Structure 1
Amino acid sequence: MKLLDRYILTTYLKTFFSVFVILMLIFLLQSIWLYIRELAGKDLEIDVVLKFLLYASPRLVVLVLPLTILLSSIMVFGRFAENYEFAAMKSTGISLQRAMRSLAIFIGILSITTYFFANNVMPWAEFNFFNLRRNLAKVKPAMVIAEGQFNEIGNINIKVEDKSGDRGQYLKDVVIHQKKPKRLGNYTVIKSKTGELTNAENEDVLQLVLYDGNYYDALQPNELPERRKKPHVKSSFEKYTLNIDLSQMNNVDLDERNYSTRYNMLTAKELSYTIDTLKIDRKRDIDILATNLQNRSTILTLNNNIKPKKADEPFTGESIYELFDPKQNLQIVNVAINTVNSTNAIIASKERTFFSKEKNVNKHVIAFYEKFALGISCIILFFVGAPLGALIRKGGFGLPIVIAIVLFLTYHFIGIFAKNSAEDSSLNPVLATWVSTLIMLPLSVYLTNRATKDRSLLNLDGILVPVKRLLKPREDDELSDKSLLNPDSKDYQNLLTYSDEKLIDLIKNYRQYDMDAPYRNSSLAILNSRGITEEELRFGGNLFNEKYENALRYKRDYDENSRIAMLLYWFYIVLGVGGAVLNNNGYPTLGKILVVIGVLGLVMFLFAFFKAFNHQTNFYKILGKNRGSNIVIAVVLGIPLFFVYHLLLGTKLSDELKEIT
């Protein structure tokens, strides 16, 4: 490995591991906060908490690793560009791709490692994490009752307003909802002013002694008329003791693992087998439903139940009901309605079942392709971050962090929205897994190409090039016209009679006099014959009217961008309104397409509008007028009524151009 490759790789690895550790700590703290309710108040050993964090860490790699690669790439290559290290490399003939070679090899190896990590370590961690959480959910505090909220302990829900004592054993304002083994619901309510926990900490029976309270029990008779009377039992007490068995809750094996079939606990091979199995099961269930519905319709035995009768002539009535009497017709309709309602109920029930199974299949498909997408995304995000850092020429923790977070959030949320849509088959689950990576792919190609050619990050003027081609080409500069007047013409003879001062004034301000280039060129020729050269006029500031020429240049730039903006204005108005009309009148697909195209036209219009406004502002600066503060008025009035803005301001600029001296 060459010295340069070793230097770049060492610098990158230092930043990479520093950022990775910092981000992992941040996300781990966020995980602790997210699951704090599952850990707090359960008297867990430190090794159980460490296991919880260990099992939670691999699932964070999906977030931390891509963000680390993106942020580290921007920071390192931004620092190289900011300190002119890239300039030194380029001066010795080392291109950006050559500088990235060692890191590209490292990222490639990291991506392959990431696949094996996602395929082996993450399923193991998810398996242990899920089972540990289920076991922790069974562990209830025997001695700790949170204040101001209901706490489920055994067969009671208890709420206390205040606790006191060295062990929190004295309770105040106690409310208890007691559940009965054979009755669903909270029909027994116990309230007391004070209470006390009297058992030892390690006992399996929680003894709760209540003082000065009331006992209320709503009875539930078997007969409905009696139940409507809402019978109940109510009594008061000075002392009431509750014994709650905690043996099952305090005897939980936190290392027990009973669940191992969730989609995120499987390897790629297991997922592939499970997906095929689920699809086969779903198809079999659909076939069974179709067979059952066909059998319910009795269409297969229809001919067996009908005894045809011979008729002298064919039936010519308007309805088959004419063959039956009204009573039979009523029976036929009732049977048909009942059959249809029953079939609809079966289909609705099965539809929910099939939706759940389809959602489960889609989750397995997403989990399968995520194992491959993670490694590929690391490569693509590196080729986004590295050239982006070289282009923005800024290292450290300032601007690179902002850019990296914006890009990563865009990448991450696109992936989340796509996967959520894919769960209910609104989007193909395979495409949903790759869509965020595929969106970043062209961005990585674009940025790498721009950085390699040492160009700016964005060439916004190129956006309007296709529109400019549709319009009339820009008129040539008259100063490039070298034609002269005919020496025998009357106009030329008049120029010969002009004094030097008048000829110089004509050369300088010929546009204001509504003359064309041949008049100016002929005047230059006459002065040259009199011994006054073009260079002398240039050094004297008399060859051009700089103020007028600059104002004219800005005026022409304004006219060009204003014409483009006018075309785009009608483009987005027509397509946007037309798309909305079609969308509301039975053509949603075509309407949405036109609306999207109209939005793109609006974006291009805004760009052309602000370019025109910028040229307008520069024009007025030459005239000594500050019109930049009118941006709010221009936006509020110019954007919705641009056709008026275009006509009025174009005429006004032409009039003010003539006033320049």
Structure 2
Amino acid sequence: MKILDKYILKSFLEPFLATFFVVLFVLVMQSLWLAFDEIAGKGIDIFFILKFLGYLALMLTPTALPIGILLSSIMALGNLSENYEMAAIKSAGISLQRVIKPLVILTLFISALNFIFLNNIYPWATLKQKNLYLNIKKKKPALSLVPGAFNTEIPGYSIKFEEKYGEEENLLKNVQIADLSAAKGKIKVITAEKGIISSEEGSKYMTLTLKNGNYYEEHVKKSMRPKERVKMPASKATFSTYIINIDISSFNDDGSLDDEKIKEHHGMLSIVQLDSTSKKTKKKYDEFIDKRAKYLYKLMEVKKLYKYEDSLIDDTLTPEILENFTLKNKNIVINESLQLLKRIIDRNKSQEKSFKDKRKLLNLYDHEIYYRISFSLACLVLFFIGAPLGSIIRKGGFGLPMIMAITIFVIYFFISQLGKNLSEESAITALFGSWLSTIILLPFGILLTRRATKGMGIFNIDSVFENTQKLFSKFTNKTTTK
């Protein structure tokens, strides 16, 4: 390898590694921020949170790679041009194509690596992350009784107290408990001067022992009106000790956080598995269409009350069949027919929704297969936009290159999502939808490469002015001749 190639690779790899990890960190933090409400306050062990972040990092690595390549290519070529190194290289008779040749080979290698990542590691990380996230969401918040407020986390109870004290902070002062387990409102209230919380390790019950208090309960029924409730009797008593056993099993582990209940998500499958699942889904879809077609055929074979021109109905059918009924019976027949028609329309709407859902699922699997391949080549496509762009703008650093890289990738991502949505709705094919962003942006990369090779800018302002002047002169000449 020549010294120039080593220098070019070094100029590219240093910003690439830095930008890749910075972008990956930002993407992980953004995803964590969106999921923060589901994780906070649930007593999740730090080990599981780190696992969650690790799975997120593996899932977002294929997205961070193209952004890192785009940004580092703009920075590397921008630095070379800004420091007049590119001018020196060109003066030595070395073309831009020769300069970026080692970077193209490296980008092809990263694209292949990205494909392997998307096909093997990404599905595994998606499987682990989505199931872990689902298990965390189902987990109830950790039981934490707060003084001075009504604690309603415990199902069936509302507990309020003034102060929590003691070595283990299990002693409560001036306790007020509303027993809501009967679902009739606040009809049972217990107050006490002191409360003691005790619970054995691993037990699903928490024992609350109340000292020196009062008990009040209204004997009402749920269906009673407010006036009737006033007339019903109530029980009142005092006690020196009152024990309540509260079920807190829902706050314990509801199962392992490593349970894997979702396994058929399209993001959890490799390309081979996606192809196999797509074929099975296609078979079910064809069977559904076949049954639907046979049903509609039988429905169209039903003989109607009236005969129309070009109809296949038997000529012996009497078109004036309603004339055999009285006015009252005619109304009954017509109403029943309308009701039957309404039921058929509602059933058809339900069948139509089922048809769309099955077709959308099939399109989703097909799109994912092609998208894995097209997105792997996103590294190469974005490199051919970033490298000539950096050579043209002649600006290194993180400022302008960062803004341009984010803008270009947002455009790429937006077009990709547009293609995905259109292909899911069967507006375009899954193959075309998955390659839509590449088809649109690749010509721009080729155009920028040609202009950078010739030493031209993104666009020539002088030529724009010249063409505009020519257009106005032609228009002026035509006006004067008239």
2: CA distance, partners of 1:65 / 1:14: 14
Contact 1:187 / 1:217 at 8 angstroms: preserved in 2? Answer: no
Q: Relative to 1, partners in 2 of residues 1:198 and 1:272: Cα closer, same or farther, differing over 3 Å?
A: same
Matched, 1:66 2:66: yes
Counterpart residue identity of residue 112, structure 1: A
Residue 261 of structure 2 corresponds to which residue in structure 1? 258
Q: Relative to 1, partners in 2 of residues 1:167 and 1:400: Cα closer, same or farther, differing over 3 Å?
A: farther
1: CA distance, partners of 2:143 / 2:369: 45
2: CA distance, partners of 1:101 / 1:3: 14
> Residue 71 of structure 2: SS of its match in structure 1?
helix
> Residue 247 of structure 2: SS of its match in structure 1?
strand
| C-alpha deviation, 1:428, in angstroms | 4.2
| C-alpha deviation, 1:80, in angstroms | 0.4
Counterpart residue identity of residue 127, structure 1: L
Counterpart residue identity of residue 354, structure 2: T
Q: Relative to 1, partners in 2 of residues 1:243 and 1:117: Cα closer, same or farther, differing over 3 Å?
A: same
Residue 37 of structure 2 corresponds to which residue in structure 1? 37
Contact 2:131 / 2:259 at 8 angstroms: preserved in 1? Answer: yes
| C-alpha deviation, 1:200, in angstroms | 5.1
Contact 2:143 / 2:251 at 8 angstroms: preserved in 1? Answer: no
Contact 2:39 / 2:137 at 8 angstroms: preserved in 1? Answer: no
Residue 55 of structure 1 corresponds to which residue in structure 2? 55
Q: Relative to 1, partners in 2 of residues 1:381 and 1:215: Cα closer, same or farther, differing over 3 Å?
A: farther
Matched, 1:274 2:277: yes
2: CA distance, partners of 1:152 / 1:293: 54
Matched, 1:445 2:429: no
Residue 357 of structure 1 corresponds to which residue in structure 2? 358
| C-alpha deviation, 1:459, in angstroms | 2.3
| TM-superposition CA deviations, 1:532-552 (whole Å, max 9, x none) | xxxxxxxxxxxxxxxxxxxxx
1: CA distance, partners of 2:42 / 2:98: 56
Contact 2:115 / 2:376 at 8 angstroms: preserved in 1? Answer: yes
| C-alpha deviation, 1:31, in angstroms | 2.6
| C-alpha deviation, 1:159, in angstroms | 8.3
Residue 376 of structure 1 corresponds to which residue in structure 2? 377
Residue 144 of structure 2 corresponds to which residue in structure 1? 144
Q: Which runs of 5+ in 1 are unaligned?
A: 181-185, 303-307, 475-558, 565-661
Q: Relative to 1, partners in 2 of residues 1:309 and 1:468: Cα closer, same or farther, differing over 3 Å?
A: closer
1: CA distance, partners of 2:437 / 2:136: 36
Which moved further from structure 2: 88-97 or 242-251? 242-251
1: CA distance, partners of 2:66 / 2:101: 19
Which moved further from structure 2: 79-88 or 464-473? 464-473
Identity of aligned residues (%): 31
Summarize the alignment of residues 177-326 of structure 1 with structure 2, pairs less than 5 Å apart: 188=185, 197-199=197-199, 202-207=202-207, 219=221, 241-246=244-249, 249-250=252-253, 252-293=255-296, 295=298, 299=302, 321-322=322-323, 324-326=325-327
Counterpart residue identity of residue 257, structure 2: L
Q: Relative to 1, partners in 2 of residues 1:428 and 1:146: Cα closer, same or farther, differing over 3 Å?
A: farther
2: CA distance, partners of 1:24 / 1:134: 23
Residue 46 of structure 1 corresponds to which residue in structure 2? 46
| TM-superposition CA deviations, 1:29-58 (whole Å, max 9, x none) | 223322223333333333322211121112
Residue 405 of structure 1 corresponds to which residue in structure 2? 406
Residue 652 of structure 1 corresponds to which residue in structure 2? none
Summarize the alignment of residues 325-364 of structure 1 with structure 2, pairs less than 5 Å apart: 325-364=326-365
> Residue 144 of structure 2: SS of its match in structure 1?
coil
Contact 1:138 / 1:249 at 8 angstroms: preserved in 2? Answer: no
Residue 310 of structure 2 corresponds to which residue in structure 1? none
1: CA distance, partners of 2:255 / 2:440: 48
Which moved further from structure 2: 348-357 or 122-131? 348-357
| C-alpha deviation, 1:192, in angstroms | 7.4
Residue 80 of structure 1 corresponds to which residue in structure 2? 80
| C-alpha deviation, 1:259, in angstroms | 2.2
| C-alpha deviation, 1:301, in angstroms | 12
Contact 1:77 / 1:386 at 8 angstroms: preserved in 2? Answer: yes
Residue 456 of structure 1 corresponds to which residue in structure 2? 457
Structure with greater Cα Rg: 1
Summarize the alignment of residues 479-518 of structure 1 with structure 2, pairs less than 5 Å apart: none
> Residue 241 of structure 1: SS of its match in structure 2?
strand
Summarize the alignment of residues 384-403 of structure 1 with structure 2, pairs less than 5 Å apart: 384-403=385-404
Contact 1:163 / 1:171 at 8 angstroms: preserved in 2? Answer: yes
2: CA distance, partners of 1:431 / 1:227: 65
How large is the Cα RMSD of the aligned pairs? 4.1
Counterpart residue identity of residue 42, structure 1: K
Contact 1:188 / 1:217 at 8 angstroms: preserved in 2? Answer: no
Contact 1:20 / 1:68 at 8 angstroms: preserved in 2? Answer: yes
Contact 2:371 / 2:434 at 8 angstroms: preserved in 1? Answer: yes
Residue 102 of structure 2 corresponds to which residue in structure 1? 102
Q: Relative to 1, partners in 2 of residues 1:456 and 1:124: Cα closer, same or farther, differing over 3 Å?
A: same
| C-alpha deviation, 1:115, in angstroms | 0.8
Contact 1:12 / 1:72 at 8 angstroms: preserved in 2? Answer: yes
Q: Relative to 1, partners in 2 of residues 1:269 and 1:61: Cα closer, same or farther, differing over 3 Å?
A: same
2: CA distance, partners of 1:465 / 1:218: 92
| TM-superposition CA deviations, 1:155-184 (whole Å, max 9, x none) | 45868799855767559998979577xxxx
> Residue 347 of structure 1: SS of its match in structure 2?
helix
1: CA distance, partners of 2:432 / 2:216: 62
Matched, 1:24 2:27: no
2: CA distance, partners of 1:149 / 1:119: 51
2: CA distance, partners of 1:23 / 1:253: 32
Summarize the alignment of residues 534-573 of structure 1 with structure 2, pairs less than 5 Å apart: none
Contact 1:188 / 1:218 at 8 angstroms: preserved in 2? Answer: no
> Residue 206 of structure 1: SS of its match in structure 2?
strand
Counterpart residue identity of residue 257, structure 1: E
> Residue 112 of structure 1: SS of its match in structure 2?
helix
2: CA distance, partners of 1:426 / 1:353: 18
| TM-superposition CA deviations, 1:479-530 (whole Å, max 9, x none) | xxxxxxxxxxxxxxxxxxxxxxxxxxxxxxxxxxxxxxxxxxxxxxxxxxxx
1: CA distance, partners of 2:157 / 2:63: 39
1: CA distance, partners of 2:23 / 2:141: 33
Counterpart residue identity of residue 281, structure 1: K
| C-alpha deviation, 1:377, in angstroms | 1.0
Contact 1:75 / 1:397 at 8 angstroms: preserved in 2? Answer: yes
2: CA distance, partners of 1:162 / 1:70: 60
| C-alpha deviation, 1:87, in angstroms | 0.4
1: CA distance, partners of 2:391 / 2:219: 75
Counterpart residue identity of residue 272, structure 1: D
2: CA distance, partners of 1:295 / 1:241: 66
| TM-superposition CA deviations, 1:82-126 (whole Å, max 9, x none) | 000100100101111110000000000110111111011010001
> Residue 35 of structure 1: SS of its match in structure 2?
helix
- How many residues of Structure 1 are paired with residues of Structure 2 in the alignment? 458
| TM-superposition CA deviations, 1:543-599 (whole Å, max 9, x none) | xxxxxxxxxxxxxxxx89xx99xxxxxxxxxxxxxxxxxxxxxxxxxxxxxxxxxxx
| C-alpha deviation, 1:388, in angstroms | 0.6
Contact 1:160 / 1:171 at 8 angstroms: preserved in 2? Answer: no
> Residue 435 of structure 2: SS of its match in structure 1?
helix
Which moved further from structure 2: 445-454 or 426-435? 426-435
Counterpart residue identity of residue 280, structure 1: K
Residue 417 of structure 2 corresponds to which residue in structure 1? 416
Q: Which runs of 5+ in 2 are unaligned?
A: 306-313
